[in-house]
Structure 1
Amino acid sequence: MAKSYKSISMAVIRRLPKYHRYLKELIDKEVYRISSKELSAMMGFTASQIRQDLNNFGGFGQQGYGYNVEELYREIQKILGLTITYRTVIIGSGNLGQAIANYTNFQKYGFKLLALFDTNPKLIGMKIRDVPVFDIDELQGFIDEKQVDIGIICTPKEFAQDIANKLIKAGVSAIWNFAPIDLRVPEHVIIENVHLSDSLFILSYLLSNQENL
C-alpha cells in the first residue's frame, strides 16, 4: 500500500486527482518539466497552493528547474494508490451500473471489475463488457471467494443501506455509493458518497444567480 498520510486534510487529498489528470495531459503533449507558476495557470490553483500541496508528501520540485512531469505523475499515482489492483463489484446493473461497467479507464488504473449483481431476472446472466451479472443472492459467497476490495452501489435509494450492510458483512473494505442517500458504515469501512444531483443543483444555483456572482 501507499504510505499513509493521516495528518493531511481531505481538501488536499481531493485535489490530487486533478494534479494526476493535468500531469497526464502534459505527458501526452510531451512536456517534460513544468514550474508551479505554469501549473497554476493550467489548473486554477495558486503557485503557492501547489507547492504547499506537494510539500505535504515530501515535495518533488527543484528550485530553478520546477517539476519533472513524469516523475511527479508517478509519485502522485503512488500516493493515490493507483499502482495497486483493486477487486471491485457493482450492485445494481441498470443504466448507471452498466455505464460504470463500460468505463474502461477504471481498469486502466487498477480497478478490476469482477462482477455485477442484480435482482432483475432479465439482467441476471447477461455480460457487460464481458463481465457477468449474477443474482444478488450470490453476493456474499462471491465476495468471500474473490476477496473483493470495493463495492459500487448503483441501486435505488431504498435498497442501498441493506446492500451496504451485506457488503460490510462480507468483508468489503470500501464502498463507492451512487444511491441518493448518505449511508451509515462502521469506522473501519471507507465510503465515498457520490450525489450526482448535488453537483447539478450547484450548477443550477450558479446559473440562476449568474448576475449576482
Structure 2
Amino acid sequence: MQKGNAKISMAVIRRLPKYRRYLAELLDRGVHRISSRELSKIIGFTASQIRQDLNNFGGFGQQGYGYNVAALYEAIGKILGLDRKYNTIIVGAGNLGQAIANYTNFEKSGFIPKAMFDINPKLIGLKIRDIEIIDADKMEEYIKENNVDIGIICTNKEQAQAVADRLVKSNIKGIWNFAPTDLDVPEKVMLENVHLSESLYTLSFLLKHNRID
C-alpha cells in the first residue's frame, strides 16, 4: 500500500485491525480520549510504534490531548475499507463453510454473505441462516449477476486452485482462502491465505518450549 511515494508495510496494515478492536472496547467502556502511552499499555505495542503506525495515514493525535477514541476508530475503519459493503460468496458448504456463514460479526462489519456453493447434491437447496447453498456449476453466472466482491474458499486442498481459477476468470476482486494450500492468482486479485493448522502448530511449539520438565 502506498501513501504518496512511501510504501506502507504489510506489518503495519496487519496491526490496524488490532488497533480498531481495542478502540471498540474503549468506546464500550465510555472512554473518549487516550494517549499513545495509555494505548500501548492496553495493546502491547510501544507508544512510539503506535504513533509511527498511525502517522503513515495522517495525523490523528493532538499534543497534550492524545487521540479522540471515536474519531480514530472511525478513521481506521475507513482506512481498512470498512465504510462500504462487500458482497461475498462461500465456496464449500462443509463444516468450515457453514461456520463462517453462521458467524454474524462478518455481516455486521459489512461483509455480506450472498450465497454458498457446493458440489454435494445433498446440500444443494439447503439454507444456512437464509444463505442458500447453490450448485457449484452455477457459480460464475451468479457472480456475474450479483456483483460479488469476495470469494471465500472452504474446499479441500485438491479443489482449491481450480476454484480460485474460476473466481479469477469471473473477475472476483478478492479471495479469502481457508484451504490448506497456497494459491496462485494474478496480482490484480487480492489474496489472503488463512492456514489454521499453522497457527495451531505455532501454539504447539510455544507450549512445548515453555513447559517445565
Same topology, TM > 0.5: yes
Aligned to 1:70: 70
Aligned counterparts, 1:161-176, within 5 A: 161-176=161-176
Structure 2 spans left out of the alignment, 5+ residues: none
Q: Secondary structure at the match of 1:184?
A: coil
Aligned counterparts, 1:3-82, within 5 A: 5=3, 7-82=7-82
Aligned counterparts, 1:53-202, within 5 A: 53-202=53-202
Deviation at 1:131, TM superposition (A): 0.8
Query: Residues of 1 paired with 2:211 and 2:115: CA distance?
Result: 48
Query: Residues of 1 paired with 2:130 and 2:159: CA distance?
Result: 26
For the Cα contact (< 8 Å) 2:175–2:190, is it kept in 1? yes
Q: Secondary structure at the match of 1:58?
A: coil
Deviation at 1:7, TM superposition (A): 1.2
For the Cα contact (< 8 Å) 2:35–2:66, is it kept in 1? yes
Task: Give deviations 1:24-54, integer Å, cap 9, x for gaps.
Answer: 0000111000010110000000000000000
| Count of paired positions | 210
Deviation at 1:122, TM superposition (A): 1.1
Query: Residues of 2 paired with 1:148 and 1:171: CA distance?
Result: 9
Structure 1 spans left out of the alignment, 5+ residues: none
Deviation at 1:17, TM superposition (A): 0.3
Deviation at 1:59, TM superposition (A): 2.0
Query: Residues of 2 paired with 1:95 and 1:83: CA distance?
Result: 30
Q: Give me the TM-score of the superposition, normalised by structure 2.
A: 0.96
Deviation at 1:4, TM superposition (A): 5.7
Task: Give deviations 1:1-21, integer Å, cap 9, x for gaps.
Answer: xx9647100000000000010
Name segments (4+ residues, structure 1) moved above 3 Å.
3-6
For the Cα contact (< 8 Å) 2:106–2:112, is it kept in 1? yes
Q: Give me the TM-score of the superposition, normalised by structure 1.
A: 0.96
Deviation at 1:147, TM superposition (A): 1.4
Partner amino acid, structure 2, of 1:113 = P
**Root-mean-square deviation over aligned CA pairs:** 1.2
